[in-house]
Amino acid sequence: MSIDKVRRRSFDPQIAETLHDKPLAGRVLAARGIQHSKEVVLPSSELPPPDKMADFATAVDLLSQAVQHKQSILIVGDYDADGATSTALAMLVLRACNADANYLVPNRFEYGYGLSAEIVAVALESKPDVILTVDNGIASHEGVAKAVQAGVTVVVTDHHLPPEVLPQAHAMVNPNRNDCVFPSKHLCGVGVIFYVMTGLCRRLQQTAWFESQNLPLPNMASYLDLVALGTVADVVPLDKTNRILVDQGVKRIRADATRPGIRALFAVAGRKQHNCMTQDLGFFIAPRLNAAGRLADMTVGVECLLATDIERATELAAELQRINSARRAIQDDMNAEAELQIEKLQLNGELPAALVMYEPAWHEGVIGIVAGKIKERFHRPVFAFAQTADGSLKGSGRSIAEVHIRDVLMEVAAARPDMLHKFGGHAMAAGLSLQTDLLQAFTDAVVATVTSKLGGDAPQREWLTDGALEDEELNLENAQLMQFLQPWGQSFEAPSFDDVFCIESVRIVGNNHSKMLLRRPNSRQKLPAIAFNRLIDSSQSEQWHAVYQLDVNDYNNSRSLQLVVQYIAPVQATGRL
């Protein structure tokens, strides 16, 4: 196994001085490309207008006509947190417009992903006039064609990378279309439908629709809690647009200006809503929402977000908690089996550049999580497969920054057109299906393709940090400051730091977490720290190189500094730069 490397971000000290009155904050912001203090402020007024979004006006026209002519609109969503928040947002806004609207979220085990021909057949049973997709549809040629042939107007809203030839829908709003010049390409599904619903409300306002129906004009800012949750959950890059959306949504959650479903999810997760951080949404709220789509039916998740009273929301959140507990038990078993497979591979020497894993009994809804966990531990692209009801294999892939996983699949498909039944995804995640007897051929092709992309070198994890901190900077105030500067996320990562420490003491707490006291050499300051899911033997070395984040330990109504250690290795083994 290769040793991790640690590299420090560079920044312009002169720019850093102008960004914040706290030097550490200025340094962190400058290292992330912030050039001016105005960029730190994230008002909704700075969201880019939608007029450059391809098909936006057409989609708004079609939906406006459907609302005013009392046509039935059926929303077809996706079964993950982005899809659930997208579906809920569209339903809430359409209801506020007095539209005839309903929704359908495919069960992944029966219908698979997207606007498939099979889910269209189910949709047509309710005789919709309009099908509105959220977080899917951009590659659904067969499903779109079937709906259009049945006389249904199809409006697609999506964010996934489009195929070369687009489906023949009546409108397709997707910032990643090649002909779309909308400046922000990183909106997720809920971000796209937020824009479309905002445009719809403005169009209906222009026609005096709300006055004629004696309805209040919907306050689109009230839906930003859903946008923040879906955006963080989908791990899209936090460009300026997404940072604004997430920041505004998180502020609403903290101020309790959020819907009962999100309140209830915070409660069952044991998180403090008034201290909401992006990490809460990504690691505690989204997994409970996602669990419904992984093991059962995402309808319970959507209904939780749609609930209008806290009693109903609490009941549904409790059900999501139960499903999530079951998901974690299944995941633990699958992770253990995956580890055994990797041990066998390691007996033959260095691990291959990519890992392909399969067990016939693995749960189809959990393979993506297992692929992600293995990827994080071994820093390699990982595909995990489960067997479906028809005997074929369904796979989920997770990748590292150096390898665009959908491009890997495209190369494999180009070389072997007979291999992949279908596939799709983006740089860091993808899904696919293939026949069981082609698994070994697929494994060989993926390993060869990834090896080629890496130039024959083994993948090496690189930790990018904001450097070392002085003793006087290692304090609770700076930990709170790092939280204040959020939102942090993909491509705008939370600040991390690195330094050499001595381990004064270490003990194991919880489920294999190492609780430590660290001290920098030549310093008397002892720092509480924790390394999650890591057993550390302090006898291996006198000094250790650690990458860590400043964290606020909020316990028994007392707040104190804690270092959360992300990576630690004996000094003689570290790849420190």
Distance CA 146, CA 228 (A): 34
Question: Binning pLDDT at 50, 70 and 90, where does residue 150 land?
Answer: very high
pLDDT at 2: 47
pLDDT band at 108 (very low <50, low <70, confident <90, very high): confident
> How do residues 180-209 score in pLDDT, each as one tens digit?
999 999 999 999 999 999 999 999 999 999
Q: How far is CA 276 from the centre of its chain?
A: 17
Domains of the chain: 46-258 (3.90.1640.30), 350-453 (3.10.310.30), 466-576 (2.40.50.460)
Sorting pLDDT into bands at 50, 70 and 90, what band is 102? very high
State the pLDDT at residue 557: 81
Q: Over 50: is that where the pLDDT of 8 sits?
A: yes
Residues 6+ apart with CB under 8 A from 23: 16, 17
How do residues 508-527 score in pLDDT, each as one tens digit?
998 889 999 999 999 999 99
| Other CB atoms within 10 Å distance of the CB of residue 179 | 8
Checking if the pLDDT of 348 tops 80, the result is no
**Can you read off the two tokens belonging to residue 319?**
């059900």
Average pLDDT rounded to a whole number, residues 121-126: 97
Mean per-residue pLDDT of the chain: 94
DSSP 459: P
If phi > 0 it is left, if psi is from -120 to 50 it is alpha, else beta; for residue 114 that is left
Mean pLDDT of 379-390: 94
**CA pair distance 427, 400, nearest whole angstrom:** 9
Residue 48, judged by CB atoms within 10 A of its CB (0-12, 13-18, 19+), counts as: middle
Q: Determine if residue 256 is left, alpha or beta; phi over 0 gives left, psi from -120 to 50 gives alpha, anything else beta.
A: left
Q: How high is the pLDDT of residue 573? A: 52
Confidence of residue 337 (pLDDT cuts 50, 70, 90): very high
The residues near 174 (Cβ < 8 Å, ≥ 6 apart) are: 54, 138, 156, 157, 158, 159, 160, 162, 180, 192
pLDDT in tens, 231-274: 999 989 999 999 999 999 999 999 999 999 999 999 999 999 99
How do residues 457-471 score in pLDDT, each as one tens digit?
Answer: 888 889 999 999 999
CA distances 334 to 36, 102, 149, 291, 368, Å, are 47, 36, 43, 16, 11
Q: Cα 198 to the chain's mean position, in Å? A: 23
| Ramachandran sector of residue 522 (left: φ over 0; alpha: ψ -120 to 50; beta: rest) | left
Tens digits of residue pLDDT in 289-323 = 999 999 988 999 999 999 999 999 999 999 999 99
Tell which wins on pLDDT, 357 or 422: 357
At 3, the pLDDT band (50, 70, 90 cuts) reads: low
pLDDT band, residue 413 (cuts 50/70/90):
very high
Can you give 509-536 as a three-state secondary structure string?
A: ECCCEEEEEEECCCCCCEEEEEECCCCC
Going across the sheet that includes 171-173, the strands are 100-104, 72-76, 130-134, 153-157, 171-173
User: Strand pairing of 544-555 and 558-570?
Assistant: antiparallel
Cα–Cα distance, 467 to 128 (Å, whole number):
57
The answer to whether residue 86 scores a pLDDT higher than 70 is yes
- CA 530 from chain centre, in angstroms, equals 25
Residue 161: per-residue pLDDT: 86
Give the pLDDT confidence score for residue 426 in this predicted structure: 78
pLDDT for 575: 45
Nearest CA among 399, 391, 424, 395 for reference residue 409:
424
pLDDT beyond 70 at 213: yes
pLDDT, residue 576, reads 47
CA within 13 Å, CB half, 276: 29
Give 418-454 pLDDT, tens digit per residue.
Answer: 999 888 877 888 899 999 999 999 999 999 999 999 9
Is the pLDDT assigned to residue 347 strictly greater than 60? Answer: yes
